[in-house]
Homo-oligomer: A and B are copies of this chain.
Amino acid sequence: MPPVVGVIGGGQLARMMVPPAIALGIDIRVFAENEGESASIAVTTLGDYRNVHEVLQFAQGVDVVTFDHEHVPQEVLAALVEAGVRVHPGPHALLYAQDKLLMRERLGELGLPMPDWARVESPEELDAFIAEHGGRAVLKTPVGGYDGKGVRIVSAASEAADWFGNGPLLAEELVSFQREVAQLVARRPSGEMALWPLVETIQRDGVCAEVIAPAPDSFERLAAVASDIATRVAEALDVTGVLAVELFQTTDERLLINELAMRPHNTGHWSIDGSTTSQFEQHLRAVLDLPLGATGCREPWSVMVNILGGPTVGEFTGPYPQALADQPTVKFHGYGKAPRPGRKVGHVTATGDELDEVTYRARAAAAFFSN
């Protein structure tokens, strides 16, 4: 019998695990909240991921449980582990992707480079932090934020009055960076790791807009430092599966850890078309403790551009056929999601020898979907 991977969450990350599961001969089953979600082709259970009983029932028929998102509560994860279910990444690792304050504390213990930060419990503490950091700070809710949600740049605590009173907040220095980069790594329970090349990520309104692989002008030492940081995080936190480490490259050429994600990540979507082994295939291999695949670039450059808002990739009455006709070398990825302003509904990836030309093709393809 083929191994069975159970994925909690029915979003586009679960959806994009399905093609490599089919190729590798893995049986993939998805636990989703609602009908018609992105990964619906592989959904075998509808339920609430906060319900211990429902999740345990789903886990009974699977060899390993992994995740489309990081929101499964620790008590549900603990119940899985107690029931003898293999869970990757494990609760003790996921904790640091779920709670940004715990993450900062742990990275601090490990001596890893990151922006100055503080736990702030009151407006007074935040104002003190702001005063010490040039009059501005990045304020984050420790739990539940994503794609720019739960993040606010403030110059006075009064600008975040509505956020106080629900537990501590995370204040971070506003880093003077020249660009953002991301280092992805996959790690098996038995310890083997494989790193993709460092990539540059271009954010718009707090959301990933474009990714260039490899990161242009990433001199050898920069790439080595990024690899070292990701390796240390993966090992120290015992991460299994794909780990994405988002980093600031500062104006003085330091790398500071911005965020961690313990799952396939938007900054790794280029790997579907651009790397010998995609992050989705590698995640499946890793959580099953199978040997990892090669992570080199298939062509010198890959550029991934997100499609935000819509019209949806896959809506064949819209501009999709024109986009296909205009860019026959570009690979299109639809997420099966209804369009909504700002929502990630798909992405495109172009690959080739010349960065300018590759970037042009990817942007030209994505532009058909902007509205």
The answer to whether A314 and B26 have CB atoms under 8 Å apart is yes
> Is A24 an interface residue, CB under 8 A from the partner?
yes
> Is A290 an interface residue, CB under 8 A from the partner?
yes
The answer to whether A324 and B276 have CB atoms under 8 Å apart is no
Which residues of the partner chain B approach A325 to less than 8 Å between Cβ atoms? 291
> Is A89 an interface residue, CB under 8 A from the partner?
no
Given contacts A2-B316, A321-B291, whether A18 and B24 have CB atoms under 8 Å apart is: no
Query: CA A235 – CA B160 in complex, angstroms?
Result: 67
Checking B15, B288, B293, B312 against A329 with a beta-carbon cut-off of 8 angstroms, the contacting residue is B293
- Interface residues in A277-294 (C-beta closer than 8 Å to B): 277, 285, 288, 290-294
The answer to whether B2 and A329 have CB atoms under 8 Å apart is no
Query: CA A315 – CA B3 in complex, angstroms?
Result: 7
Residue tally, chain A, CB below 8 Å to B: 46
> Is A91 an interface residue, CB under 8 A from the partner?
no
The answer to whether B336 and A2 have CB atoms under 8 Å apart is yes
Query: CA A349 – CA B97 in complex, angstroms?
Result: 36
The minimal Cβ–Cβ distance linking A339 to chain B, given in whole angstroms, is 12
- Interface residues in A166-183 (C-beta closer than 8 Å to B): none
Query: CA A189 – CA B363 in complex, angstroms?
Result: 29
The minimal Cβ–Cβ distance linking A185 to chain B, given in whole angstroms, is 15
Query: CA A298 – CA B352 in complex, angstroms?
Result: 9
The answer to whether B336 and A25 have CB atoms under 8 Å apart is yes
Query: CA A312 – CA B2 in complex, angstroms?
Result: 9
